[in-house]
Amino acid sequence: MKIAVCVKEVPDTSASKRIDPETLRLDRSGEGALNLGDTNAIEAALRIKESSTDCEVVLISMGPESAINSLRKGLAMGADRAALVSDPGAEGSDIIGTTNVLAAVLASEAPDLTLFGQQSADSDGAVLWAAVADRLQQPFMSQATNLELESGNAKVKRQTEYGYDLIEAPLPCVVAVSDGINEPRYPSLKGIMGAKKKPQEILGLDGIGVSAEETGTAGSRTEVRALNDPPARGESQVIEADGEAAARVLAFLNEKKLV
């Protein structure tokens, strides 16, 4: 069995974030880190691998070459290898351009199961997995809080606003896991050292059969035309916590006839 886990490098949570005024895109030149939600997907894959006699876990991503450093965390956790698509022609991809790239790699790898984290910390779109599944023409399930494989099927316990759905789909399929599915393991020192020796492939668009017209800004269907500060909220008062704050708040509410 082969399990592919699609992961993403996002700006480190401790790094300041800014929009590049020239490109109107998120500036990714600072420190990056593996998307936290994707570690849940990696953990889910590793638990399946540990319960199987023959299973390979491969990480798939798209980003700058430096993103391979973030992917090594997944290798240190226990994934077998990583494939990163890094090409100037893919810069500025929206969800359409991104799915063209990821679907091409997945079609070449032909995994039995493809896992995603529910969403990424830098965009919070939570739709990429569905778009990739559509390109692959495979069934997909999301918000998985439990995942089991049995008799060629994936069985998912899906969290909803009103409880849980129990869903089953044949393999190959795509599953997006929630952060409640597990507690990702911490890489051991042995795993960190071993990650450097595991296969780490960096691919260009030519290597996956995707043209520059299918991804990047040329292959995207959305465009950011302007970026502005939010409108002012009008007159406001700042009440300091100096011992009389509660009385001032009450007086303000009385003045506005709200109490």
Q: Is the pLDDT of residue 182 over 90?
A: yes
Tell me the per-residue pLDDT of 236-248, one tens digit each, with 9 for 90 and over: 778 888 788 888 8
State how beta strands 113-117 and 2-6 pair: parallel
Q: The tokens of 229 are what?
A: 């500060």
The average pLDDT across 206-224 equals 89
Contact 113, 4 (CB under 8 A): yes
Segment 72-85, tens digit of pLDDT:
999 999 999 999 99
**pTM for the whole thing?**
0.85
Kindly report the average pLDDT of the chain as a whole number.
90
Q: Residue 223 — very low, low, confident or very high, per pLDDT cuts 50/70/90? A: confident
DSSP symbols for 186-205: PPPHHHHHHHTTS-EEEE-H
Tens of pLDDT, residue by residue over 26-45, are 777 768 889 999 999 999 99
CA distance 8 to 116: 10
Share of the chain above pLDDT 70, in %: 98
Contact 107, 174 (CB under 8 A): no
Domains of the chain plus CATH, in order, are 2-214 (3.40.50.620)
Identify residue 195 by its one-letter amino acid code: A
pLDDT of residue 36: 93
- How far is the C-alpha of 221 from the C-alpha of 243, rounded, in Å? 55
Of all residues in the chain, the percent with pLDDT exceeding 90 is 64
pLDDT bracket for residue 221 (50, 70, 90): confident
Q: Among 79-93, 169-183, 238-252, where is mean pLDDT lowest?
A: 238-252
